[in-house]
Amino acid sequence: MKIISTFLIFFFGFKVLANERILIKKSNEMFFLVEFADTKEKMRKGLMNRKNISEVNGMLFLNKKPRIMKMWMKNTHHDLKIIFINEFKKIISIKEGKKFSEKIISSKTPVLAVLEILKSCKNFNFELGEKITWEYADLNKLDDFMDKLIFCQK
């Protein structure tokens, strides 16, 4: 099992270095990695134009302060769950984004963050009011979470 854990860290580690990764923790002690939209360009582009995003579980969009967030699915090749998170890190809304749709998907109130994940991930369940936390993924400490780290199962 240790060999598999080391392989996963090594394999995903090289992909992580290409894009900043965030470790997401749900209130039920479930952990998973997502890309971090840490620049204006990454926030603008999101997961658009990617035919294969199986190596990532999703993307986190983080604001410096809460604001109304508007998302869209133009040029996005996958259906997504769009999870709006308030300043208390609680889920206040979950919406579905249909691939290639140009319909604007907006938070009704200001949010601190938006988490986009593949809708097809059967083991990623989210509920309104659930707490979501995040931190930069330190690959050296990832082994501490390996037994709780999950990946998208379609």
Containing structural domain, residue 88: 2-144
Rounded Cα distance, 116 and 46, in Å = 9
Task: Quote the pTM value.
Answer: 0.82
- Report if residue 19 sits inside a domain: yes
Tally the domains of the chain: 1
In a domain? residue 151: no
Question: Tens of pLDDT along 72-124?
Answer: 999 999 999 999 999 999 999 999 999 999 999 999 999 999 999 999 888 88
* Domain of residue 84, CATH code: 2.60.120.1140
* Residues paired with residue 113 on neighbouring β-strands, in sequence order: 62, 85
Per-residue pLDDT tens digits for 121-139: 888 889 999 999 998 877 6
For residue 53, tell me if it sits in a domain: yes
Residue 20 resides in a domain:
yes
- pLDDT of 15 > 50? The answer is no
Q: Has residue 150 been placed in a domain?
A: no
